Amino acid sequence: MPELRLLVASDAEKLRRLLRTCWLDTYKGILPDSVIQTAITVWQSKESLLRGLQNPQAFYSGCFEDGKLVGMVSAGKIDEGTVKIFQLYVLPSHQRRGIGSRLMDAAIRRFRGAGKVVLEVEDGNQKGISFYSKYGFTYEGRTVVKIGGEEIPCLLGELRL
């Protein structure tokens, strides 16, 4: 059974590799290459990941199998009753094994007492939309995320607890 634990600064390189693999698998053909490159080189730089991992308000949990990081979630409280899932990724080779649900459960447990969980998922990310729907999220609206000069249409997911 894969082990779930909090991610720490020494996990930054493993996290960077996982995110790169998952971003290329998930968004190739959905998002412009320029957006994928920005994600890989800027948001997923070791420095950027370390800032996130060292933020006391942020929750980062990882799923490890034989020492290899195979899934991750990052979340935070955005107001008194609301938790936001910022990222949830599982390696393609490890999907459909319950890892995503375990990571989501851990994030929700960490912010016990919140009344709802929200997230944004790219309109074309069918695997993500399907996973979140099966978990119980409904899509109450849409938004546009601006990345560089690109506008990325997203669904707004919400889960009442």
Q: What pLDDT is stored for residue 89 in this prediction?
A: 97
Average pLDDT of adjacent 10-residue blocks, the chain of 161 residues: 92 95 92 86 88 93 96 96 96 96 97 95 94 96 87 95 95
* pLDDT given at position 1: 77
CA distance 29 to 66: 32
Domain hosting residue 38, numbered range: 3-160
CATH of the domain at 11: 3.40.630.30
Q: What is the pLDDT of residue 38?
A: 84
Q: What is the pLDDT of residue 22?
A: 94
What tokens does 148 get? Answer: 């560089």
Identify the pLDDT of residue 9.
Answer: 94
Name the domain count of the chain: 1
> In sequence order, what are the residues at sequence separation of 6 or more whose Cβ sits closer than 8 angstroms to the Cβ of residue 86?
74, 75, 76, 119
Sheet holding 59-65, edge to edge: 3-6, 59-65, 68-79, 82-90, 116-122, 150-160, 138-147
Closest of 134, 116, 4 to residue 71, by C-alpha: 4
